Amino acid sequence: MLDLVTAFILPIALFIMMLGVGSTIHSHQLAVLVHRRGMILAGVGSMALAGPLLAFCIARILALPNELAIGLILLASCPGGLFSNYLTLLSRGEIGLSVCLTAVVSLIYVATGPMWAEWALLGLENSDKDVSVPYTHIMRPLVLFLLLPICLGMVLRGICSSKFRRVLDVFPDLGGVLAIFCYVIIVYAQRDTIVDGLVTVLPAVVILNLLLILLCIGLSYLFKLSWREFTALCIEHLIRQEGTGIYIAIAFVGSLESSLPMLVNSLTGLFFSSLIIVFGRRRLPLNLRKARRKMCSSQGENIS
């Protein structure tokens, strides 16, 4: 069952979720790239470069086993998840910034994902061990399951009728259900490893999340971000596409144990994001379904 999940169901879930990401992007959101180029570049740089470097330092300081250290670096290099856009909406954050970061980091992850996988293996494995990461072998599925569905979703959003767009709005939910199913299967398969490694992994993941929050605070002061922009930036750093990291850890790194940091972060990232939502907004929406429809119909407009 685990082989079926990792080889077929998880890639399909990634494709559907990324198609959902692309289907929510339109010109209003991309305008953020034009007006706040420095802020976008800083956010992308912190997610694609600074985060993995912090994870490497944490792994070294805490002396994590190689498999867990590699997983922590893979976690820190993952793009923001589609769920981050939804949480940003609920927190009344800057949804345009959130979607732009999700899209841009997902696109460049086709190149940065294999780079960090190789760097983690070469930097953490024993020096006398021959480590080789097939770059093209990793990039091919990333193009198929990340880059292609995002671009396809953007095209379909632009050319299809409003009735068909409502069909596209179902894809993020469907992909999320499949991803949760994969998550449950992998957790069950790793139940013994999770129990044994939780004490080691949980502090590392919590420290990584706290350092990422501090990094976002620093960027907020540097670029004079509003609270809504800070909220979007922070949630984007905490809620990651763990499914993508798990896919790379299992399919290419060849270590089921390396997926443990991603599994743990699914809960810790949500916990810290929930705190930001609670402290950052005056009131929660009374109708979550209405909020969901609002994200699909008017996502990307600047919230003043």
Q: Measuring CA to CA, which residue among 102, 105, 97 is closest to residue 231?
A: 97
Are 292 and 103 in contact by the 8 Å Cβ rule? The answer is no
How far is residue 148's CA from residue 28's CA, in Å, rounded to a whole number?
21
| pLDDT, tens digit, 9 for 90 and up, residues 127-136 | 344 445 555 5
Of 81-95, 141-155, 288-302, where does mean pLDDT reach its minimum?
Answer: 288-302
Are 236 and 78 in contact by the 8 Å Cβ rule? The answer is no
Contacts of 140 (CB under 8 A, 6+ apart): none
| pLDDT, tens digit, 9 for 90 and up, residues 142-153 | 677 767 887 787
This prediction's pTM: 0.74
pLDDT at 130: 44
pLDDT at 205 over 80: yes
Query: Can you name the CATH fold of 2-296?
Result: Na+/H+ antiporter like fold (1.20.1530)
pLDDT at 108: 84
The token pair that represents 80 in the structure block: 């923001």
**Which of 39-53, 106-120, 128-142, 162-176 has the largest mean confidence?**
39-53
- Judged by phi (left if over 0) then psi (alpha if -120 to 50, else beta), residue 40 lies in alpha
